Amino acid sequence: MHMSAKWEHFDHGADIGVRGIADTETGAFEQAALALTAVIANPDLVRHTETVEVHCEAPDHELLFAEWLNAIIFEMATRNMLFSRFEIKLLKESLTAKLYGEAVNIQRHSPAVEVKGATYTSLKVCKDDNDKWVAQCVVDV
């Protein structure tokens, strides 16, 4: 991971925005996934004991980004897991990824909220003024 890659949250009413910023589009998707985990728990406390593979398709990368986050949310909900490392292969209209994480441990992870889904609100995937890739949207909590 490049030192310039990062994730952050941004306020949006009762919901919360997740944003990934990196030198590459793939890196921005990965950082946004970390921001998603950080809505729920501290990603640094999530061990990489299990691997889950996901595949998403969409006609453009903004919609693909929303599908990506929703795939992670689905896996977190159905498997009762958290993820803190992501390996993505991004193509024109699809994405395949490995999610690394573990089952939720209430005592260690102290989950704050449940994320219900990624929305199209403030959805964008583009380069910013500093030539960094930004991938963001608001998630429903």
The domain limits of the chain are 6-140
pLDDT digits over 3-61, tens only? 689 998 887 777 899 999 999 999 999 999 999 999 999 999 999 999 999 999 999 99
| pLDDT higher than 70, residue 2 | no
According to CATH, what is the number of the domain 6-140?
Answer: 3.55.10.10
**What confidence score (pLDDT) does residue 11 get?**
74
pLDDT digits over 91-138, tens only? 999 999 999 999 999 999 999 899 999 999 999 999 999 999 999 999
**What confidence score (pLDDT) does residue 8 get?**
87
Give the chain as a DSSP string.
--TT-EEEEEEETTEEEEEEEESSHHHHHHHHHHHHHHHHS-GGG----EEEEEEEE-SSHHHHHHHHHHHHHHHHHHHTEEEEEEEEEE-SSEEEEEEEEEE--HHHH-------EE-STT-EEEE-TTS-EEEEEEEE-
| pLDDT higher than 60, residue 76 | yes
